[in-house]
Each structure stands twice: as structure tokens, then as C-alpha cells.
Amino acid sequence: MAEKPTYIELFAGAGGLAEGLIRAGFHPVAHIEMDKYATLTLKTRLAYHYLTQAGKSDVYFMYIKREITRGELYNGIPEYVLSSVLNAEIREDNLGEMFKFIHNQMEKTGAQKINVIAGGPPCQAYSIIGRARDPYRMRKDKRNYLYRLYVEFLKEFKPDIFIFENVPGLLSAGGGKLWDDVRKYFKNAGYRVDFRLLNARDFGVLQNRKRIFVIGWRKNLDFQYPDFEKNTAEMYKVRDVLEDLPPLQPGEKIYAGEYAGPPSEYLLKYGIRTKTDVLTLHIARRHNERDREIYRFYIEKWIKERRRPEYDELPEHLKTHRNRKIFRDRFKVVAPDLPWSQTIVAHLAKDGHYFIHPDINQLRSISVREAARLQSFPDNYYFEGPMTAMFRQIGNAVPPLMAERIARKIKEMIE
């Protein structure tokens, strides 16, 4: 079972990084995540990989088409696969329990060692927007210091390499002092570290998404930060992600249905849709009439003028915010004729104003499946929980196409 290089993932979310590692040939040992719906998504995805390798993918598709229950799906999966996902918060007072859980998983899977630790703590405390909204600039936020707990896992399991992903604001938080402290902790744990600001659009993802990727390796290993050749998909446009999906009205939900047309070349080339896939989770949130009128205004401006107006340009009867000087781009169309969208973020769970679907006949924000595709999740990736939880999981994730490219470079280093 554990002949492949192994990994554990901390702050795992819905498994974007894990998906890349598995595709690259890594064997999962453990995933730790505090959000209960994200842990269910992880288990369902691990069930997919197990059933696919066992030649039983039809059982998985029966589940996502809602022909069998989640319990029936999980009943056919070995215990060690599902038990690799722990729904728990990583805290200083439960590290011993976490270590014991991972050691038990190593025994179950026959893993002699952990080759890679991956993951990134919740990013709100490092984000520039989060700091702007907090009167204390996040100084009192305990999430600022989760990297110190991450380091405890490095000390315990001594992986060859670790991958630490976060928002660019990690470098500027606390005037740069926080980043200095992060590097010091990694160094004291016995690792050399380097980092790059990587953009998902350079990895075949149709999204402008910049994130810091810190890679560290044990000091006795003669490694260096890998080079990534740019693999932009600029010959494709955002419409290539959207056009085969049936139109929706606000509040309309297609949990399992049929596509409106054949897949685009982009979807096929990058494995986001295959000929055997079924359409799932094409579900849209409800909108009131004022929001729909605002959406119409922004879509028309893009169609006629190819620009995104500021909030203060709205007709007076549509303005509800007194402060019109901050968040002036509160509303934004996902432009179909550009080679990438704006960054998909977890705020989608609260409202979709920043992600307006470009079709003026629909007047809605993007659906769960559309957001997942812009993050490069394949159509056979099924998210668990209510719609708001799905949006949050998708917005917080590392795009799988990006994760896979990084994981393959890591695997080359190890081998």
C-alpha cells in the first residue's frame, strides 16, 4: 500500500492539494481539517480514487447522481481510506492526539515514513483585506501563529519536504516580522526554505490567483526550489469553462443532470470534463430584484464598453452603502472573453456580487460547478454540505491543476 511516496495534509480543506499529490503518485496517509463538510468532501474524493483504481467507478457515479446514499458509498470503501480524514482543529493542547492519529494511520497503511507534509493554515489572518477589516489588524488572531503548530508536525515526522501555501499578505503581515518568524521556526526545525509567488494562470488554470508557496527540505538534502515552466492557457477564454452548462435562473438547482452541449477543447485538454462525466452541483443562489438590476447594469457595461464600473457609478436608487470609497469594485462580472477570471475566494459563501455570470439572460452569480471549474476542479469532484459550505471549500482550495504540477516536481526531487 505504501510503496508510493507518502504525504499528510494539515488544514486540508476540500483537498485541492491532496488531489494534486494523489495525481502525481503520492499515497495519502492522513488529512486533518476542522470543517466538517470539507472532511466529508475529502472522504468522498478518496472514495472516488479508491473505486477508480479498483475498476468500480460506476459505484461512485451512482452516488453523485443521487442513486445511492453516502452511507452506501462509504460502506464499500476500506476503513483505512476513510479513517485517513480527521475532523478536528489543530491546537497546541491536542498535538499529542494528532501525532497518535497519524502514527496509527502509518501502521494501517504500512507507511515507514512520511515523505511530504503539505497544507497552509487559514489565510484570513494574513490577508490584506482581513487586516483592513479588523481594528487590531489581526494582531490578536490566534490563526497568526498556526505555522508554529505546523512546525511541530515537521519535528515529529521529519518529512523530506514540506509545502506551505498561503496568501501574499503573509510576507507583509506585521511589517514583515511575521514572515521572519515563520522562516526562523522552519530553520530551527531543521529545514532550508525558499518561496515563490506563483500564479494559478501559469499552471493552466483560467483564473488570476496569486499565492505564496513555501517549499522546505531537510538541511542534509541537496535540493533547491523547483523551476516551473509557464503553462498558460491564454488561447482559451473563460467562456470555455461556462458554455456547455445549461442556463440557470437565481435559486435554480441541478444536483445531477445533463450538459447543454459538448465539452470545449479546454475542458477536455485539462481533464475538467470527460466523456463519461455527469453534470452535478450546478446550483445557483437566490437574488433579490435590486441585485438582479445591479447585475444587469454591470453586464451591460461589460458588453458595451468592456469595463467594470465602480460602485458609485450605479444609479442612485440602486445604491445602499453609505461608504462608497472602499470596496468600490464590490460588483464584478466574470468576463467570458478574457483568458482568466478574478480570484475565486471563500467570500462566495456570503454573496456572489463579485462573481456575476456574464449572461444577461440569467442575471445571477456563478454556480457551484462554475466556481469549481474556474478553480480547475474536475466535474467528477463532488463537494459535500450546503451550498454556502461548497462555495467556501472551493474558494479556500489550491487549484488541483496547480497542485498537480507542484506535486510532480516534488516527487522528482524525492526520487
Is 331 within a domain?
Answer: yes
Is 24 within a domain?
Answer: yes
**In terms of domains, do 110 and 186 share one?**
yes
What value does the mean pLDDT of the chain take? 92
Contact predicate 169/132, CB 8 Å: no
Within 8 A by CB and 6+ apart from 229, the residues are none
Interhelix angle 36-53/16-23, rounded to 10 degrees, is 20
Within 8 A by CB and 6+ apart from 75, the residues are none
Contact predicate 16/118, CB 8 Å: no
- Direct distance between the N- and C-terminal alpha carbons of the chain, in angstroms, rounded to an integer: 18
**In terms of domains, do 190 and 249 share one?**
no
Q: Cα 141 vs. chain centroid, distance in angstroms?
A: 22
Is 66 within a domain?
Answer: yes
Interval 295-311: pLDDT, tens = 999 999 999 999 999 88
Q: What pLDDT shows up at residue 320?
A: 81
**List 123, 161, 371, 413, catalytic entry:** 123
Give the number of other Cβ atoms within 10 Å of residue 110's Cβ: 13
Is 312 within a domain?
Answer: yes
Confidence class for position 172, pLDDT limits 50, 70, 90: confident
Alpha-carbon distance of 252 to 283, in angstroms, equals 6
Q: Shortest CA distance to 382 belongs to which of 56, 14, 68?
A: 14
Is 203 within a domain?
Answer: yes
Please give the average per-residue pLDDT across 185-207, as a whole number: 96
Name the domain count of the chain: 2
Going by the DSSP 8-state scheme, the letter that residue 161 receives in this structure is E
Confidence class for position 405, pLDDT limits 50, 70, 90: very high
pLDDT at 2 over 80: no
3-class SS of residue 233: coil
**In terms of domains, do 376 and 258 share one?**
yes
Give the number of other Cβ atoms within 10 Å of residue 69's Cβ: 10
Alpha-carbon distance of 150 to 244, in angstroms, equals 42
Is 1 within a domain?
Answer: no
Q: What pLDDT shows up at residue 145?
A: 82
**In terms of domains, do 298 and 199 share one?**
no
Domain at 161, CATH number: 3.40.50.150
Is 390 within a domain?
Answer: no
Residue 185 phi/psi, 5-degree rounding, is -65, -40
Contact predicate 349/392, CB 8 Å: yes
> H or E element: which one contains 283?
strand 279-283
**In terms of domains, do 170 and 214 share one?**
yes
73 is catalytic: no
**In terms of domains, do 222 and 245 share one?**
no
pLDDT at 134 over 50: no
**In terms of domains, do 217 and 243 share one?**
no
**In terms of domains, do 296 and 224 share one?**
no
Residue 354 lies in domain: 239-385
Q: Shortest CA distance to 357 belongs to which of 276, 282, 408, 410?
A: 282
Confidence class for position 327, pLDDT limits 50, 70, 90: low
E-strand stretches of 161-200: 161-166, 191-199
**In terms of domains, do 374 and 408 share one?**
no
Q: Shortest CA distance to 212 belongs to which of 9, 374, 406?
A: 406
Q: What pLDDT shows up at residue 137?
A: 45
**In terms of domains, do 263 and 134 share one?**
no
Is 95 within a domain?
Answer: yes
pLDDT at 129 over 50: no
**In terms of domains, do 75 and 221 share one?**
yes
**In terms of domains, do 148 and 118 share one?**
yes
Q: What pLDDT shows up at residue 124?
A: 55
Contact predicate 356/365, CB 8 Å: yes
Which grid cell sits at 160?
523530506
The model's pTM: 0.93
Alpha-carbon distance of 110 to 128, in angstroms, equals 43
Ranges 13-27, 72-86, 175-189: which has the least confidence: 175-189
What distances in angstroms separate CA 281 from CA 248, 284, 401, one per listed residue? 12, 9, 20
Interval 236-286: pLDDT, tens = 999 999 999 999 999 999 999 999 999 999 999 999 999 889 999 999 999
Domain at 256, CATH number: 3.90.120
